[in-house]
């Protein structure tokens, strides 16, 4: 087991390249099981989620390989298995996309119910409701959902709640259905558009992705091709906060600035400078950020996946901030860890009331999920003294070369065995 050891206080300076979007890559990898032909997916982040999904495809009987250059080559031409019910499948949330992909291809899917980060209840009722509109019925037994349809026929699907996962799953099943599927109140996240573009480049006919009405004209089959994943909005946002929280000056490269609008706007509101260029943003910190109110919302609102990072920044702000989590019902578990470092935050249901403090101090803390883990690292970068961050498996699910990228900006962070008690020093390797 490993931990990060961080010596706080270094201002981050320099340039950093953002990797491909993890939440997009995981959907594209799974979507490849619908394709007869070779899919080459470029700019795939080398994180544990993408490797695990490639393994799952191999276990299903397809061929998937992820090169160390971030190119996933996937050939499922001869795949004839609709059963993704083994243990690893249930461990990763994005494997829920196997429901739509296998249903689309075989009109039958057996998939272990998805796990992933624990933000409270993570239901799949909207996914199942969408499939039933297309003519599929389902049953759930022993943690495995079985979905079948004699024929998949396009239909109108209204989402009661805006759901990224359900929107993607219905796009997948709809792409190979007969007739036209219309998703209303669809999610509009950048990776929804990426999934539609990927499928269209393989022969699908999907229009309107990125708006709240998506129209999918079903096609008979999808063919192989090459596609490149969009940059990771949340990784970029995390580095933006890293620059801000260390009062640094960082050029964050290979981004789509438009995808960062809600994050940039909030950072500017609290006194951080954000300069936008064609495919990069420069973030310049300030001595102390100002208090703010933040409400997480589906895209284009402020992303829930940036909530822990923003709370951490506001924990050091001047004044009382209020952060409301509108997407997940239990996404403040990490706050107990921040409190160990001296943060003064009170949680009441979906609202965190943050009394800004002047300093945080290093402490041993744990990642409670992927983005909360990143937030612990950000807190450690800003804190006085040494912070140890445990449970790195969460961070490894979604951040490629996190500590290497931070070190290249001057952070004093090292990955060590949890048994290693060497004190952190001010050196290149912390």
List the catalytic residues.
Answer: 117
Q: How near is the Cβ of 325 to ligand UD1 at its closest, in Å?
A: 10
Buried b (16+ CB within 10 A) or exposed e, 276-303: eeeebbbbbbeeebebbebebebbeebb
Q: Does 288 bind ligand UD1 (CB under 6 A)?
A: no
DSSP labels for 107-124? Answer: SEEEEEPP--S-SS----
- State which H helix or E strand residue 347 sits in: strand 344-348
Identify residues 153-172 at the interface with ligand UD1 (CB under 6 A).
Answer: 161, 163-166
Segment interacting with ligand UD1, rule: CB under 6 A, options 12-20, 61-69, 122-130, 275-283: 122-130
Binding window for ligand UD1 (CB under 6 A); candidates: 120-128, 192-200, 219-227, 400-408:
120-128
Q: Which of residues 384-423 bind ligand UD1 (CB under 6 A)?
A: none
Q: C-alpha angle 49/54/56, rounded to 5°?
A: 95
Q: Does 124 bind ligand UD1 (CB under 6 A)?
A: yes
Min separation Cβ 191 and ligand UD1, Å: 6
In the complex with ligand UD1, the residue whose CB is nearer, 301 or 319, is 301
In the complex, minimum distance from the CB of residue 297 to ligand UD1, in angstroms, rounded to a whole number: 9
Contacts of 283 (CB under 8 A, 6+ apart): 239, 240, 243, 244, 248, 249, 250, 252, 267, 272, 273, 274
User: Does 40 participate in binding ligand UD1 (rule CB under 6 A)?
Assistant: no
226: part of which helix (H) or strand (E)? strand 222-228
In sequence order, what are the beta bridge partners of 388? 5, 364
- 75 vs 305, beta carbon nearer ligand UD1: 305
Nearer to ligand UD1, 130 or 356 (CB): 130
Compute the residue count for the chain.
430
Cβ atoms 6, 406 nearer than 8 A: no
Residues 295-324 that bind ligand UD1 (CB under 6 A): 304-305
The SS3 of residue 334 is coil
Strand partners, 20: 231
Q: In the complex, which residue's CB is closest to ligand UD1?
A: 165
Using CB under 6 A as the criterion, what x/- string covers residues 4-33 for binding ligand UD1? -------------------x--x-------
Complex with ligand UD1: residue 16 or 186, whichever CB lies closer: 186
Binding site for ligand UD1 (CB under 6 A): 23, 26, 93-94, 121-127, 161, 163-166, 187, 304-305, 327-328
């Amino acid at each position: 087991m490993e931990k990060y050891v961080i010596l706080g206080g270094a201002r981050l300076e320099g340039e950093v390249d953002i990797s491909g979007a993890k939440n997009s890559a995981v959907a594209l990898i799974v979507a490849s099981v619908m394709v007869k032909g070779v899919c080459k997916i470029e700019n795939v982040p080398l994180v544990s989620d993408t490797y695990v999904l490639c393994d799952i495809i191999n276990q299903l009987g397809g061929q998937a390989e992820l090169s160390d250059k971030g190119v996933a080559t996937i050939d499922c031409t001869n795949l004839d298995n609709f059963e993704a019910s083994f243990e690893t499948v249930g461990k990763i949330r994005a494997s829920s996309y196997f429901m739509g992909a296998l249903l689309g291809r075989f009109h039958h899917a057996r998939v272990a119910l998805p796990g992933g980060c624990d933000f409270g209840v993570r239901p799949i009722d909207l996914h199942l409701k969408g499939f039933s509109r297309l003519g599929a019925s389902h049953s759930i037994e022993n943690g495995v959902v079985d979905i079948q349809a004699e024929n998949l026929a396009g239909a109108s699907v209204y989402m009661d709640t805006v759901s990224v996962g359900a929107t993607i799953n219905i796009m997948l099943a709809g792409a190979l259905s007969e007739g036209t599927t219309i998703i209303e109140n669809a999610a509009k996240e950048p990776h929804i558009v990426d999934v539609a573009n990927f499928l269209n480049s393989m022969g699908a006919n999907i229009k309107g992705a990125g708006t709240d009405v998506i129209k999918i004209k079903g096609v008979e089959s999808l063919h192989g091709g090459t596609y490149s994943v969009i940059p990771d909005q949340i990784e970029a946002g995390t580095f933006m906060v890293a620059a801000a929280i260390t009062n640094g000056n960082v050029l964050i490269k290979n981004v789509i600035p438009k995808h960062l609008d809600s994050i940039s706007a909030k950072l500017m509101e609290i006194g951080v400078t954000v300069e936008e260029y064609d495919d990069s943003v420069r973030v310049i910190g300030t001595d102390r950020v100002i208090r703010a109110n933040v409400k997480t919302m589906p895209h284009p609102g402020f992303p829930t996946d940036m909530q822990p990072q923003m709370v951490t920044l506001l924990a050091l702000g001047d004044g009382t901030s209020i952060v409301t989590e509108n997407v997940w019902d239990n996404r403040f578990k990490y706050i107990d860890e921040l409190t160990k470092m001296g943060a003064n935050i009170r949680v009441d249901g979906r609202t965190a009331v943050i009394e800004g403090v002047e300093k945080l101090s290093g402490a041993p803390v744990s990642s409670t999920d992927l983005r909360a883990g990143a937030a612990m690292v950000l807190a450690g970068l800003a804190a006085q003294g040494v912070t140890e961050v445990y449970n790195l498996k969460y961070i490894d699910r979604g951040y490629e070369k996190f500590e290497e990228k931070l070190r290249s900006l001057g952070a004093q962070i090292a990955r060590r065995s949890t048994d290693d008690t060497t004190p952190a020093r001010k050196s290149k390797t912390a």
